[in-house]
A and B are shown apart, each in its own frame.
Chain A
Amino acid sequence: MQDVAAEAHIHRLQESFNALNYSAEETLDVYGLMLLARLTDEYLADLRTKGLMTGGVSCKGHEAIQVVCARELVVGTDYTLPYYRDLALVIAMGMPLYDIFLNHLGSEADPNSGGRMRPAHWSSRKLGIVSSSGVAATHILHAAGIAFAAQIRQSSAITAAFFGEGATSEGDFHEALNFAGIHRVGALFICENNGVALSTPQSRQMKVKHVVDRASAYGVHGMLVDGSNVFAAAAAIRDAATRARSGGGPVLLEAIIPSQMRMREQPDIYDPVYGLRAFLLQSGKLTEAADTEMRETFTQKIEDAYKLALSADKAGIFAVQDYVYADNPAVNVQEHLQTETSFNIEETLQHD
């Protein structure tokens, strides 16, 4: 039975792949990013197990939707508002592994927040990643506002907010989608539904079967995708981004993320990375040898980035009151962190 189900999954992947028109190179790019995210995620988990690191949240099972979304967002133009589970998203958007480890080490050298936030609260002006707080759903309203500003400025920029299904219980979710629907702003609301908010199952969070069932209540276009099928997810997000970019209004896209248990027990059906690998091997797009080589290269890169981050002794860069207000940044962040972080409103306005 297991084999039949696995075969059926590969068949679904093939069908989605055929509909998508990805080149061989694009396909391997996507697999590479998903694999890099998975290996980084596992490396971080291992460090936590060994007590070498605390904090951070696993993106295991979420890689497909996150990577394909990153591919649709234009760095330098679009705005991305991730939540703490979006490791694969920020990797795929181009955040260096070094920065990711600095962030997880809570280093003052971390360009995301210099140790001011717990790990996995991302921020990169350069990548268009808007700083996120540790409060669920507040950023969904910001996404609506950013998209609204883009509309007023007649910019083609789109704005994507990511969140779990737990955040959709917050009033901010309702207010954001309601507003976005009224003004038909170019926003993508990406719900990564893994069926459980910390410990509370979906059945105790909402009466509807799918988060996306609520879309029509806001006059927002709703889309439901299988988060284990990367090609279906890629096609869906491409359509969603095209719609948002061309004035077609906001989209609520819900990706069904398999539970950790299902992924463990039936990885060939539910684990997006495992499933994609099986498909690529079976269809001759990837060889075992190439896969092994890729893994080894990535593992080395991860290891190197971690060691470099460990050795980055940057204590005392910031005074406690730096950046509380505009008039008290005592240091030049660019100089110290070697990253482009300046806030230039003119540049923002001239993006397109």
Chain B
Amino acid sequence: MTERTISMVEALREGLREEMGRDERVVLLGDDIGSAGGIFTATMGLREEFGGGRVWDMPLAENGVVGVGIGAAIGGLRPVAEVQFADFLLSAMSQIVNEAAKLRYRSLGQWSCPIVIRAPYGAGLAGGPDHSQSVETLFAHIPGLKVVAPSTPADTKGLIKASIRDEDPVIFLEQKSLYHQRYGVVSDDEDYVIPLGRAIVRREGKDVSVITYGAMVFESLFAAEMLQREQIDLEIIDIRTLQPLDIDTIGESVSKTNKAIVFHEDTRFSGIGAEIAATIGEELFEFLDGPVIRLGAPFAPIPAKPSLEKEIIPNAAALANAVRRLSRY
């Protein structure tokens, strides 16, 4: 067993490759994932390695990719469907919400749908209103689905492997600006699997808990460095999966720091932060020194022009300001 420093997309590819090698039922479906290797290179080389029978280029219809994938899962395979942008998952909403999520429930477990639906999400690459959205909470709201949003290469690999081995449909969301920019140390142990539903303390601290995920994890770490000079010690929780949500880890942190900020690039209104903040308010009220602050994007689409995009996505400076505000309590 060795450990190497690789990029997030390389870690993803490694996870896919290992699971394909481990289980011949694992097949990949998606647009341009074969010889093209996927628009973000997630599946590069896999068709060459495993053959055309394992990596399938699909007609350009996201609903068809997902619907065929659901059928393939019913038919005994372990499909991993790639949709090129999470925004296009919306074209497959009925298949995901009415079918994949409910198949086990409505058939009393006679039928199930072990599919992974992968898609890049989020801002940072100037994709504009229909290539930059954070859709994770739409899916976290649906009973029957699991929703994963890793932030590091190691987590990406461990969580994609866990998702493929999972018996239920998993929406696996990859923050696209991290693919080629975020490097980390990754294990090549074939059974390096991170169970779904477990948050991780990304940085230990004693003053304020920041509950976050995805690209905002790194803004949080940056803010923590800035605030250290002001003698404010941040604890950063990376939830990693939105459904199921690890309330225990959040609770442990908040009951220690007595201050909580939820922080994501999704809209502040009805983002997963609202759910987390409400739960903290209900269950940890007596521990709180101040209000639970939600930090997210303003209620507007994501513009394409990089300077405008920067303006709408929250960052370390915005978080630092919120922390300073909360620290006064």
Contacts and interface: CB of A to CB of B under 8 A. Distances in A.
A111 B110 CA distance: 9
Contacts of B61: 171, 175, 178
A146 B74 contact: yes
B59 interface: yes
A138 B76 contact: no
Interface string B104-124: 111111111000000000000
Nearest to A135: B98
Interface string B58-86: 11010110011111111111010000000
B167 A326 contact: yes
B99 interface: yes
Contact of B99 (A135, A149, A345): A135
B71 A172 contact: no
A265 B8 CA distance: 69
A141 B63 CA distance: 9
A218 to B, nearest CB: 11
A152 interface: yes
Contact of A171 (B27, B63, B73, B102): B63
A172 B66 CA distance: 11
Interface residues of A, number: 51
The residue among B75, B99, B102 with the most chain A CB atoms within 10 A of its own CB is: B75
Contacts of B167: 325-327
B75 to A, nearest CB: 3
Interface stretch (A118-126, A201-209, A248-256): A118-126
Given A141-B95, A142-B71, A152-B53, A179 B64 contact: yes
A145 B67 contact: yes
B58 A179 contact: yes
B14 interface: no
A333 interface: yes
A113 B106 contact: yes
B107 to A, nearest CB: 4
A146 B71 contact: yes
A216 B105 CA distance: 38
B94 interface: yes
Interface in A103-160: 111-114, 116-117, 121, 123-125, 130-131, 133, 135, 138, 141-150, 152-153, 159
Contacts of A171: 61, 63
Nearest to B112: A343
A79 interface: yes
B103 interface: yes
A175 B63 contact: yes
A143 B72 CA distance: 9
Given A141-B64, A175-B63, A323-B104, A133 B144 contact: no
B210 to A, nearest CB: 29
Given A130-B74, A135-B98, A349-B76, A341 B110 contact: yes
A326 B77 contact: no
A123 B71 contact: no
Interface string B37-62: 00000000000000001000011010
Interface in B205-248: none
A343 B113 CA distance: 11
Given A138-B95, A138-B98, A172-B63, A149 B110 contact: no
B311 to A, nearest CB: 37
A142 B75 CA distance: 9
B168 A116 contact: no
Contacts of B64: 141, 172, 175-176, 178-179
A310 interface: no
Contacts of B111: 123, 125, 130-131, 343
A146 B144 contact: no
A222 B12 CA distance: 43
B21 interface: no
B290 interface: no
Contact of B68 (A148, A318, A341): A148
Given A111-B108, A149-B77, A152-B27, A175 B67 contact: yes
Contact of A138 (B94, B104, B168): B94
B301 interface: no
Interface in A315-349: 318, 322-327, 329, 333, 337, 341, 343, 345, 348-349
B63 A113 contact: no
Contact of A148 (B25, B71, B143): B71
Contacts of A47: none
B108 A318 contact: yes
Contact of A175 (B59, B75, B98, B99): B59
B75 A149 contact: yes
Given A138-B94, A175-B63, A343-B112, A145 B68 contact: yes
B72 A138 contact: no
A281 interface: no
A179 B111 CA distance: 23
A5 interface: no
A148 B110 contact: no
A142 B168 contact: no
A115 B255 CA distance: 42
A131 B76 contact: no
A182 interface: yes
A116 B75 contact: no
A133 B99 contact: yes
B297 to A, nearest CB: 30
16 contacts: A114-B108, A123-B110, A130-B111, A131-B110, A138-B94, A142-B67, A144-B71, A145-B75, A147-B71, A148-B71, A148-B72, A172-B64, A176-B64, A178-B64, A333-B108, A343-B112
Given A123-B111, A141-B68, A153-B77, 9 more contacts: A121-B106, A135-B94, A135-B98, A138-B67, A141-B95, A148-B68, A323-B104, A326-B109, A341-B110
Interface of B: 25, 27, 53, 58-59, 61, 63-64, 67-77, 79, 94-95, 98-99, 102-112, 143-144, 146, 166-168
